[in-house]
Structure 1
């Protein structure tokens, strides 16, 4: 299977031309509003949503931690980014039977904390990002389940869940970073199991 496709300049340019397609345009506008905002004294550098995703028709939302350095290069939150975390996630989605048109990738802290390397969000940064996550959820009327990918997303959900307008089932999933997968050989198995559970929950909710 093809992964890391956003490393190709032509593929990246083509993806940018799709940002105003009907399924993704409301999310593009939301990301643009974030980029015009300031939180905790910093201007927010939020990436684009991936037009290959389900956009506003998404059934499964994947919330990771915060955008990594490759996101700063491509400008997209996407499983097609040229890094091993995105590659692992792309492979896991395929194995779990989750089509790209059914899911959406985003982060519990949606703006860039560092373009130079991975920075773990502080509790204050996670709390400050909760309103943005809540606004995103209002743009996803078909959403059935949220997959909380990694400990920061799982911990940060407590700032979001009490304010939800409707209950949403959640599934905890290990973070697909190569470092974590290398230190815990069972993490890929648990991650795949979590994504399969999310697919089944979304199917049940839609029935």
Structure 2
């Protein structure tokens, strides 16, 4: 599906403000959408991951994104506490989560006019929560190594994928180990520590997201 077509893929995300996933009704709505065709194969992937890595450590994909129809894969480092129900979070990897990094992404999507239902799917290069009950830790080389086969499997589930946005240095390191022949764009992590005190990083992230959209359009049109 290309930009400008009238159809949609994911369900309509709430657009009245960031942090929508703090609303229990919105979370219930999203859970009810996990069997929709655009996200059901990813829900099955999550079920397999939970069986191997722990049901309390692997969140779901956000079904208001494009799912398996996505042209752009956004890869972060690892799920934070606000992505796991067991640590007070939503249970989704989502720019609608109730934390500063998610809010920064939500606002950038709004600024750029990103249609999440058609364009993107968001995940992590280490797809499970790493760390203790109260605090996540940085991804180590062993985590990135263990995550490789799961990311390779995910890429195989995304037939329309055109470009990967590597968000933060750990995501870039993890991807580089794979050797998958896809265009990539490296951007800073959207944490408040980065963007709120370093305005140039916000500019870099915005420019990188826009560049990824341009790559996706060009590749989809068959001119690369």
Coarse TM-score class (shorter-chain normalised): over 0.9
Contact 1:181 1:187 in 2 (8 A): yes
Query: In structure 2, what is the equivalent of residue 83 of structure 1?
Result: 99
Question: Does 2:188 align with 1:174?
Answer: yes
Shift of 1:97: 2.7
Question: Does 2:20 align with 1:37?
Answer: no
Structure 2, gaps ≥5 residues long: 1-15
Q: How many residues align?
A: 200
TM norm structure 1: 0.92
Q: Name the stretch that deviates more: 128-137 or 108-117.
A: 108-117
Query: In structure 1, what is the equivalent of residue 10 of structure 2?
Result: none
Query: In structure 2, what is the equivalent of residue 63 of structure 1?
Result: 75
Shift of 1:43: 7.4
Contact 1:37 1:44 in 2 (8 A): no
Out of 181, 189, 201, the position equivalent to 2:215 is 201
TM norm structure 2: 0.86
Contact 1:62 1:104 in 2 (8 A): yes
Tell me how far apart the structure 2 counterparts of residues 13 and 192 of structure 1 sit (CA, whole Å): 31
Matches within 5 A, 1:2-41: 2-38=17-53
Tell me how far apart the structure 1 counterparts of residues 188 and 67 of structure 2 sit (CA, whole Å): 24
Tell me how far apart the structure 1 counterparts of residues 97 and 151 of structure 2 sit (CA, whole Å): 22
Out of 148, 155, 159, the position equivalent to 1:130 is 148
Question: Does 2:121 align with 1:107?
Answer: no
RMSD: 1.4
CA-to-aligned-CA distance 1:94-142 (integer Å, 9 cap, x gap): 2223210110110010101134223211111011101000000000000
Shift of 1:86: 0.3
- SS class of match (2:199): coil
Shift of 1:204: 0.3
Q: Name the stretch that deviates more: 179-188 or 142-151.
A: 179-188
Contact 2:42 2:61 in 1 (8 A): yes
Out of 47, 55, 58, the position equivalent to 1:46 is 58
Tell me how far apart the structure 1 counterparts of residues 55 and 170 of structure 2 sit (CA, whole Å): 21
Contact 1:97 1:196 in 2 (8 A): no
Contact 1:19 1:51 in 2 (8 A): yes
